[in-house]
Amino acid sequence: MRNSILLIVIISFFACTNAPKNEVAESAATEIVIKGEAQGTTYTIKYLAEEYEEGLKEHFDQLLDDIDMSMSTYVPNSKISRLNAGDTIELDDLFLEVYNLSYSINKKTDGAFDPTIGPLIKAWGFDFANPQKMDSALVASLLESSGFDKFIVDGKQMYRTNDAARINFNAVAQGYSVDVMAKILDQMKVENYYIELGGELKVKGKNKFGDWWIIGIDQPDGKNLKRNLAQRISLENSAMATSGNYRKFYEIDGKRYSHTLNPITGFPAENGLLSTTVIADDCGTADALATAFMVMGKEKSVNYLGQHPNVKAYLIFSSKGGEYETYVTPNLEQYLLND
């Protein structure tokens, strides 16, 4: 759903299936693979079971369609699109869960994560709209139309109080979608699985070889599309999301801007952070925090991580000399794999 950069390279088990897109295959080692397309990207699910459960892929596809109809700004008649157009909407559980998660992360990060900056996202051209010529006066005006106070939840209904207010869940919805997909496998009592959607992922248990799932993180490099790994991580029963600024830019009047907006200033974030990988219990939280850290910069992100030891992170930033440097939370170091 969001215009995110696929920063995570999955380096295990690409050869486990030759099934075409949207088809299901089962390997000899009872690893079942489901692939599909959703939210403007692709998804891959791998799980260990004796046999594939009929209709499971269709169940996942329907779930992802439901999420789109609830909170995709790219679907004209979705609930979020109708809310942004001024309608009072009936809240479904999917929408309400993402709204509550977004509100919680917004408060925890002192506003660094804020899905209510929809007016700014649109004006900057970050949702496929035509970018406007931005200046401080226009940004200040758009900031006045942003904020959670511009949206009212009244029981199972929601409406906006400002005609220009717009909400946008693109920086959290993919991670949340992964969590909802994982719940399906949890309800099936599946003990070993891997779920990835647009680069956001969640794993449980072990792979078909009896090892923890091995995940790679891209080395930031905006010069070309070649992907080099910065690090490999052994992931245990966790969710992981990555955000970065080094490949995707917007150009207005000859000036390049990163795609991450700072909700405090209203301008694209500029702080030296190139990539943030966050590992948490749920992928929605990891997704939102990865975006928030790109706004906060290294120092504030490290301070946050020091106060939240349940979150792991791998930060890549540019030094004053232009070299790549990294910060790894102490609780992640034992999971790093060195070749």
Predicted local distance difference test score (pLDDT) of residue 198: 93
Cα(83)–Cα(178) distance, integer angstroms = 24
Cα(190)–Cα(293) distance, integer angstroms = 33
pTM for the predicted model, two decimal places: 0.86
Regarding predicted confidence, which is higher, 6 or 250? 250
Looking at 252-266, 275-289, 298-312, which range is the least confident one? 252-266
Other CB atoms within 10 Å distance of the CB of residue 183: 11
Cα(97)–Cα(202) distance, integer angstroms = 18
Tallying the residues shown for the chain, one arrives at 339
Predicted local distance difference test score (pLDDT) of residue 318: 82
pLDDT confidence band for 32 (50 / 70 / 90): very high
Amino acid identity of 313?
A
Regarding predicted confidence, which is higher, 53 or 79? 79
Instruction: Establish how many alpha carbons lie within 13 A of residue 39's alpha carbon, considering only the half-sphere containing its beta carbon.
Output: 32
Q: Is it the case that residue 247 has pLDDT exceeding 70?
A: no
Cα(11)–Cα(32) distance, integer angstroms = 17
Cα(116)–Cα(229) distance, integer angstroms = 34
Looking at 84-88, 248-252, 331-335, which range is the least confident one? 248-252
Predicted local distance difference test score (pLDDT) of residue 168: 95
pLDDT confidence band for 246 (50 / 70 / 90): low
Amino acid identity of 70?
S
Q: What is the greatest pairwise CA distance in the chain?
A: 62
Other CB atoms within 10 Å distance of the CB of residue 70: 22
Cα(215)–Cα(313) distance, integer angstroms = 14
Cα(202)–Cα(219) distance, integer angstroms = 21
Regarding predicted confidence, which is higher, 259 or 299? 299
pLDDT in tens, 106-140: 999 999 999 999 999 888 887 666 777 888 999 99
Looking at 25-34, 165-174, 176-185, which range is the least confident one? 25-34
Cα(134)–Cα(138) distance, integer angstroms = 6
What's the gap between Cα 300 and its chain centre?
A: 20
What domains, with CATH codes, occur in the chain? Answer: 69-160 (1.10.3980.10)
| Beta strands 312-318 and 324-328, pairing class | antiparallel
Q: What percent of the chain shows pLDDT beyond 90?
A: 69
E-strand spans in 41-86? 41-48
pLDDT in tens, 198-228: 999 999 999 999 999 999 987 776 554 455 6
Q: Are 162 and 145 in contact (CB under 8 A)?
A: yes
Write out the DSSP string of 268-312.
B--SSEEEEEEEESSHHHHHHHHHHHHHHHHHHHHHHHHH-TT-E
pLDDT in tens, 294-333: 999 999 999 999 999 999 999 998 877 777 899 999 999 9
Tokens 């997704």 locate to 287
Cα(175)–Cα(302) distance, integer angstroms = 22
Write out the DSSP string of 147-159.
SGGGEEEETTEEE
pLDDT confidence band for 42 (50 / 70 / 90): very high
Predicted local distance difference test score (pLDDT) of residue 256: 47
